[in-house]
Structure 1
């Protein structure tokens, strides 16, 4: 009986095995590497990376997102092979909160965060009770508070780092009110608040240069360089290594420096 059952299954097993063996290799034109990027700076930079990699025989396809949460969800779900939009503090927070088994395999660019205003020309001009928009994600919100603390606008508890929240503000002499918004929406909210903390990937497409237009900005030695991130099982995959190496190509570095005029810094 068992022999007859095996014989019946055998014709179906062979086509499945053949299909698995015939699957196109990742990085080919038939199966490009799917890379998640956020709109603006990261999408523009990746377009140049993809051009360089294509000449070297590695085919890629960009998938653009408008928020910081979906690119990791898509990577975990298998809809992406990699993403290139998040820095290490954000990645660590996502791994802790959501259990993602992701690892960085390379660096891309640093998009400086600045505090911008449509109403005021200096931080000193911020009014009593002014409204300051900061990102509502757990790392970029703290990043914004650190910039304001370093500029002397507020004071944070001793030892506060990128995980700081509004609860860590110990001195706020102007009684500033912090409005926590999705990072991508702060540019649009500038008309309605006194100032907003915006990362370069959202500021630059809106015509705001952190080096020229910001009331305050973070140091260029920031720890927030964006990473190429993959699932742990793909950490040593040749395509992952080649993808990461693409960001260090001289043509890509030259493109970033020319295109963004110092507001975005090559990280690889």
Structure 2
């Protein structure tokens, strides 16, 4: 009996070691997510990370649902909830890491007050970030919405615009293409990761920027319910929310990416 128990214990240990030794495949946007994960690799070398950089409109939640990756790190909660409905899947959030404030950018005007009548503003075409963009335009006084509720919980569309004194025209474009639209529109509302990839500094270049305080759009480490308690996932969640990673974000992104721990002090 004792030998059997010892054998089972040894087998369990071997399985655990093999599980931990297997690479943890994480899908992530190139900037800043993959860069942060590369730092985690130096911080925690025993955690074997395989970073799968997203490109070309690849859906990281579909990759996760199909088992092609073990986790992803690129999205905020409202987007995740929308994806769960669209895919008919349930995912688990295991860490809330950083905020990338959404920004309004322009190559044609130097301030939002200088937007001409009939100006065209490009916005993300997915449901949650379109809504987020419209709330930002209201927050900056460009237009008014006929909607009650809170940013992140109440979805709005251009149909909810109730006051538009400058007769702004809203053009919906795929998020990765928004930086390229800047030459063709009067302004564009761009997600922080795509702004950084395009060489923009949200903290310096944006004409208007979301506040980090009470921001519901923190970027998350997401996995499946089956892997939520995987020791590798737990370790990565611990690393991503560590003081070292928060300090890395502060030093490398100069306010364009903000650790969740700092958001309460914005």
- Fold-level match, TM-score > 0.5? yes
Coordinate RMSD, CA, aligned: 1.9
Shift of 1:123: 0.6
Q: Which residue of 2 aligns with 1:119?
A: 108
2:185 matches 1:193: yes
The answer for the alignment partner of 1:101 in structure 2 is 90
Counterpart Cα distance in 2 of 1:67 and 1:99:
23
Shift of 1:67: 5.8
Distance 1:50 1:104 in 2: 21
Distance 1:113 1:75 in 2: 25
CA contact (8 A) 1:41 1:202 kept: no
Deviations 1:115-145 (A, max 9, x none): 0001100111111111101001111111111
The offset of 1:23, in angstroms, is 11
Q: Which residue of 1 aligns with 2:259?
A: 266
Paired residue total: 245
Matches within 5 A, 1:131-146: 131-146=120-135
Q: Do the aligned partners of 1:38 and 1:67 also contact (CA within 8 Å) in 2?
A: no
The aligned residue for residue 242 of structure 2 is: 249
Whether the 8 Å contact between 1:103 and 1:235 is mirrored in structure 2 is yes
1:213 matched residue in structure 2? 205
Instruction: Kindly indicate whether the alpha-carbon contact (under 8 Å) linking 2:25 and 2:71 is maintained by their aligned counterparts in 1.
Output: yes
**Is 1:50 the equivalent of 2:41?**
yes
CA distance in 2, matches of 1:165, 1:100: 25
CA distance in 2, matches of 1:177, 1:122: 17
- Gapped runs of 5+ residues in structure 1? 1-20
Q: Which runs of 4+ in 1 moved over 3 A?
A: 21-24
What is the deviation of 1:22? Answer: 7.8
1:61-72 alignment runs, 5 A limit = 61-66=50-55, 70-72=59-61
* CA distances 1:197-219 after superposition (whole Å, capped 9, x unpaired): 11111112322222211111111
Deviates more, 1:101-110 or 1:68-77: 68-77
Q: TM-score, normalised by structure 2?
A: 0.87
Deviations 1:11-34 (A, max 9, x none): xxxxxxxxxx98983442xx2000
Task: Output one character per residue of 1:66-102: Cα deviation in whole Å (capped at 9) or x when no partner.
Answer: 2665111100010000001011111111112221210
Worse-superposed segment, 229-238 or 245-254: 245-254
Q: Which has the larger radius of gyration?
A: 1
1:200 to 1:179, Cα distance in 2 relative to 1, 3 A:
same
In the superposition, relative to structure 1, how do residues 67 and 229 fare at CA in structure 2: closer, same or farther (>3 Å)? Answer: farther
Could you tell me how far apart the structure 1 residues matched to 2:182 and 2:232 are? Answer: 41
**1:225 Cα deviation (Å)?**
0.6
